[in-house]
Structure 1
Amino acid sequence: MKNLKINNRFISELPADPDLTNEIRQVKDTLFSYVNPTKPSIPELIHASEETAEMVGITKDEIHTKEFLDVFSGNEILANTRPFAMCYAGHQFGNWAGQLGDGRAINLTEVENKNNEFFMLQLKGAGKTPYSRTADGLAVLRSSIREYLCAEAMHYLGVPTTRSLSLILSGDQVLRDILYNGNPAYEKGAIVCRVAPSFIRFGSFEMLTARNELKNLKNFVEFTIKHYFPEIKGEPKEQYLQFFKTVTDRTRDMILHWQRVGFVHGVMNTDNMSIHGITIDYGPYGWLENYDPDWTPNTTDSQNRRYRYGNQPQVAQWNLFQLANAIYPLINEAAPLENILESFMIDFEEDYKAMFLSKLGIFTSSEADDKIIKGLEEILQLSETDMTIFFRNLSKIKKTDTVDSAIKKIEYAFYLPEQIKDQTLDAWQKWFSVYLKRLNSETLSDEERALKMNAVNPKYVLRNYMSQLAIDAADLKDYSVVDELFQLLKKPYDEQPESEKWFAKRPDWARTKVGCSMLSCSS
């Protein structure tokens, strides 16, 4: 990989753990520990993203070399690099968890591409680190397929995210208790190489403040601003505030995109929140099938539903509050931080309204808009209605449609169409009566409006049952479904008539199947 331009800013400018042993321990006064990946037995490349490879400086031809397989399976270390695991802390499900760190993620190196952009290359599932706690640092094929496909799918949806470079089978067996119910079983091991500007998290700063390592905190914030937010200038205190404001704005934008496409992260702990405002750590995520603001894909969260779809903006604000607490010692003024936090939800609600109206094909302002949005959010829950299909098919409605013909055009989104009667049918008729009147006040033609709606309402998303089909096939050494979904999801807003079978509601068999309706953090 002769074009890889290696850079080691993180490990050359920040304090390293002097202990080079790979033993589970509390690691203090440092931001990372050097650690080498565990060598896999018989690595095998399942899939690689040519676009991500090109982005970081790897050619298509190099993907299929032994060097690529060895480096991104953890078998060999790139010249002039020192792999490391990051030390950070965090709040998990609202509770302080103390030191966490990269328990099964190992950063290989940072690279600079031809456009002077910097990216960290990180292996997930490459073995134990000092932060693995009671785990083995490995990952299984099912969770690796889900992460690999989802990161790329999110990118092409226009959602800020990490990227996926490669998916490699380790050749080793990994013991996992998939539902944490005392029934562990061996599964195939795998390694994903994921790519991001950095993997710095809210919890990175929380850890330093919690331990009163304020010198390291100051140096780390300044390092982060210098390298990842170079546009921020001014006096130190002003820079810290602008850094927090920028992270807040980027986080708000990310959550807005999640809500737009119906994505539910499932584990919005502060250690899973990126300072770049990108989606990281794809564990028990999912897309809304039927529109349900109370849905969470995470079995661990099934009781309190803290990380449910409808609560993601509020959790993001709560997590930003923890980040504000972490950098407060550098500022020593609560008011400016509080002002930024308060504006988060005000700005979000304004942006959410504009986003929601764009999904409806409404691009001007009217006093009726709030009522239209609130009314639809309520009606969508009267009977199971597929979110993706509903909004996509809404673009087929014309200004000349009657209420009944409009309902006919979206009825494929109903899981139980026989329930659309009596009061439920009456509610839909009343809503469409108002909606059609609103459309007729718009100046765009039906065709122009449909184009704009189809640019924000995807036709294809990575539904859990689709991932499960890819996983089931891959368990039998058939990786064709992985590639089929990978190619499909590169054009989520296109019609792709040859792939119409994927524009479908969740099948009945997936309603209660593990991996489709129920997901845990076990990976």
Structure 2
Amino acid sequence: MKLNIKNRFTNELPSDIVEVNEPRQVVEACFSYVKPQNPSNPKLIHSALEVANLVGLSKEDTHSEAFLNVFSGKEVLKNTEPYAMCYAGHQFGHWAGQLGDGRAINLFEVEHNNQYYMLQLKGAGKTPYSRRGDGFAVLRSSIREHLCSEAMFHLGVQTTRSLALLLSGDEVLRDVLYNGNADYEKGAIVCRVAPSFIRFGNFEIFAAREDYKNLKIITDFTIKYYYPEIKTEGKDKYISFFEAVANNTLEMIVNWQRVGFVHGVMNTDNMSIHGVTIDYGPYGWLEDYNPNWTPNTTDNEHKRYRFGNQPKIAQWNLLQLANALYPLIDEAKPLEEILNDFSKKYEMKYLKMMHDKLGIKKEDENTRNIVYLLTENLQLTETDMTIFFRKLSEINKEDSVETAFEKIKNAFYIIDEVKDLTLDTWFYWLTLYLNQLNIENLSNMERKIAMDKVNPKYVLRNYMAQLAIDDANKGDYNLLNELYEMLLHPYDEQPKYEKWFAKRPDWARHKIGCSALSCSS
């Protein structure tokens, strides 16, 4: 197993001078050196060949003893020094101070095909940032992260990747519902892959401590390697950096909205400077179209991170990043302009995205009205978001309103509720939609092909992941493998997986792990 190792982060940024691996405040440092804990009996459950190839590994490598040992944390690769990053963050809108990699250990950076990737283990033991945690992860959360990382990538959503899912052979104590009923679960490790794991919080911590020297060092490092297109100097360089991060974050949020994904924990320490989805905890896809839904039980009361609020939270998080970068700029106006533009740009990109989902090319007052009326209609009764948009492409512009309705009615959870005023409202919207289709020049087939490229047929619904988890806890990984293969091609028809193109079953409506989840992992 040969990898082209690079260590830019550890070579160029200040390290923690204290070597004791105990929870503590780490100052004037971007990271602390720390070794993964030796797992008792590691076992590879699943590896992603596509990700292996991305970093320069072959299929044979993934079956090797070296692969198992390195990516379970059992061995440290020669000429590498694993480390945990120091960062801070706002959690649920409140300043939390130092956080850091409490369950993550960065192994090394590799270069392959002129691209750089950081490889990181999640669940490999405690670090100076673990606080009261043990640094481990359990099988259920690790399966969810491994599957979701790859599902999101193939949906076309910006994300970290997952190279491998492994059992540690150790038991981990967890209180799933935070209700005092802790129990032991199978420990597991995921190897995550990203350009870097630098977050908004990496800048926040130095700004909060008024350590402007190290704030400048890490910002310059980030721009040098991850935003090399920025050629300006002085404060303009940092303004351009903030604008680029804002734009990348915007693209990610629009894609979340496109596929119905809800992150669940959009704290600033979970926001990547690359604009990629990071830290898959209590996430979920919308079953019925409900802008107020959040998958996070911790967020049940205030629903801060609900589906419909994600754009505003992204903007709020960017405000915190702007505050952190301000000492390098010493001028608020350009940062404020970028933040104010965020909501305007979002509205434009959101409407364009929704037009694409509807197969509508023209953008005017009439088509905007069609979009906003639809988002209201989808809430009249429980309507499966994924199925609705996928079935919508089957409508032909020559169809009657009644025929069009027949083609989408399988998306409704309780069809008997779609009557009287609700039915009239749907017929009215379908009339507007059919009229618009007849105004446009696309043939039915051209429009269907275009719509099916942005409206997935298959997403990783929570109940599906939970079924795979239940089987995996019994040592059966067949369903995990099946879901993984299906999620590699979410926009294809894949008739052999048709059973997964279905509404959430009633038994999953309130089952733990199928409707909502805690942060416990």
Above 0.5 in TM-score?
yes
**Paired position in structure 2 for 1:20:** 19
Question: Matches of 2:272 and 2:472 in 1, distance apart?
Answer: 31
1:237 Cα deviation from its structure 2 partner: 1.1
In 2, the alpha carbon distance for the partners of 1:55 and 1:360 equals 34
Instruction: Determine the C-alpha separation between the residues in 2 that align with 1:246 and 1:376.
Output: 32
Contact between 2:262 and 2:284, CA under 8 Å: does it hold in 1? yes
* 1:366 CA drift (Å): 3.0
Q: Percent identity?
A: 65
Segments of structure 2 that go 5 or more residues without pairing to the other structure are: none
Counterpart of 2:182 (choices 181, 184, 190) is: 184
Paired position in structure 1 for 2:351 = 353
Q: For 1:334-367, what per-residue CA distance to the aligned partner results, in whole angstroms no more than 9, with x for missing partners?
A: 0000000000010000010010011001012232
The whole-number CA distance in structure 2 between the counterparts of 1:296 and 1:169 is: 29
Q: Tell me how far apart the structure 1 counterparts of residues 201 and 363 of structure 2 sit (CA, whole Å).
A: 40
Three-state SS of the structure 1 residue aligned to 2:137 is coil
**Equivalent runs, 1:83-482 vs 2, <5 Å:** 83-113=82-112, 115-482=113-480
Separation in structure 2 between the aligned mates of residue 365 and residue 51 of structure 1, nearest angstrom = 38
Q: Distance in 2 between matches of 1:170 and 1:234?
A: 47
- 1:44 aligns with 43
Letter in 2 for 1:19: V
Query: C-alpha deviations, 1:459-487, integer Å up to 9, x for none?
Result: 00000000001000101100011110110
Q: Which runs of 5+ in 1 are unaligned?
A: none
Which AA in structure 2 matches 1:422? Answer: D
Q: Give 1:350's aligned amino acid.
A: M
Secondary structure of 2:405's counterpart equals helix
Determine helix, strand or coil for the equivalent of 1:368: helix
In 2, the alpha carbon distance for the partners of 1:370 and 1:62 equals 51
Q: What is the identity, as a one-letter code, of the residue corresponding to 1:48?
A: S
In 1, the alpha carbon distance for the partners of 2:109 and 2:516 equals 36
Q: Matched residues in 2 for 1:23 and 1:447: separation? A: 61
Counterpart Cα distance in 1 of 2:356 and 2:403: 22
SS in structure 1 at match of 2:107 = strand
Looking at structure 2, the residues matched to 484 and 362 of structure 1 have their Cα atoms a distance apart, in angstroms, of: 34
The residue matched to 1:432 in structure 2 has which SS?
helix
State how many pairs are aligned. Answer: 521
Which residue does 2:31 correspond to in 1? 32
- Structure 1 runs (4+) greater than 3 angstroms displaced: none
Alpha carbons 2:294, 2:516 under 8 Å: kept: no
**Which amino acid letter does the alignment assign opposite residue 72 of structure 2?**
S
CA distance in 2, matches of 1:434, 1:200: 46
Give the structure 2 partner of residue 509 of structure 1: 507
1:496 maps to a residue whose letter is Q
2: distance between equivalents of 1:497 and 1:195? 31
Separation (CA, whole Å) in 1 of partners of 2:324 and 2:336: 13
State the alpha-carbon separation in 1 of the partners of residues 401 and 324 from structure 2.
53
2:390 is aligned with what amino acid? R
Separation in 1, partners of 2:444, 2:165: 43
The TM-score normalised by the length of structure 2 is 1.00
C-alpha distance after superposition, 1:186-241 (max 9, x if no partner): 00000000000000000000000000110000111001000111111012211111
3-state SS of 1:201 partner:
coil
- Secondary structure of the 2:369 match is helix
Encode CA deviations 1:218-265: one digit per residue, 9 max, x unaligned.
Answer: 111001000111111012211111100000000000000000000000
CA shift at 1:452, angstroms?
Answer: 0.2
Q: For the residues of structure 2 that align with 1:236 and 1:366, how far apart are their CA atoms?
A: 42
Distance of 1:227 and 1:357 partners within structure 2: 36
TM-score by length of 1: 0.99
**CA separation in 1, counterparts of 2:364 and 2:337?**
29
Structure 2 distance, partners of 1:400, 1:447, is: 13
Matched letter for residue 235 of structure 1: E
CA displacement, residues 18-50 of structure 1 (integer Å, 9 cap, x when unaligned): 111101100000010000001111100000000
Number of the residue aligned with 2:70: 71
Q: What CA distance in whole angstroms lies between the structure 1 residues aligned with 2:257 and 2:494?
A: 24
Residues in 2 aligned to 1:98 and 1:233: alpha-carbon distance in whole angstroms: 33
